[in-house]
Amino acid sequence: MLKSTIGIALLASLAGVAGCATQAETVGAASGAALGAAIGGGTIATVGGAMVGYGAGKKYDEHHH
């Protein structure tokens, strides 16, 4: 289970990089995915965490650029 969770978190962070995300968005997505995986342990929690983290990174960029 842990290996698949790490794999999903890695894919989420790579998807952010491939989509030309900013550093804050990528870090937010990866951190959110890791946190979602740690708390929920499932795919939905991991993806949901990544989405929340990406949104937080996007808001950070809007306020600081």
Q: Per the structure, how many domains does the chain have?
A: 1
Based on its alpha-carbon atoms, the radius of gyration of the chain, rounded to whole angstroms, reads 11
Q: If we measure between CA atoms, which residue out of 63, 22, 3, 64 comes closest to residue 53?
A: 22
Q: What share of the chain is helix, strand, coil (3-state, %, to 5)?
A: 85, 0, 15
Which residue range is the domain that position 25 belongs to?
2-64
Structure tokens at 58: 């996007």
Q: What is the pTM of this model?
A: 0.63
Question: What confidence tens digit (pLDDT) does each residue in 16-47 have?
Answer: 555 667 778 778 877 888 888 888 777 788 78
Cα 24 to Cα 1, 37, 41: the distances in Å are 28, 20, 24
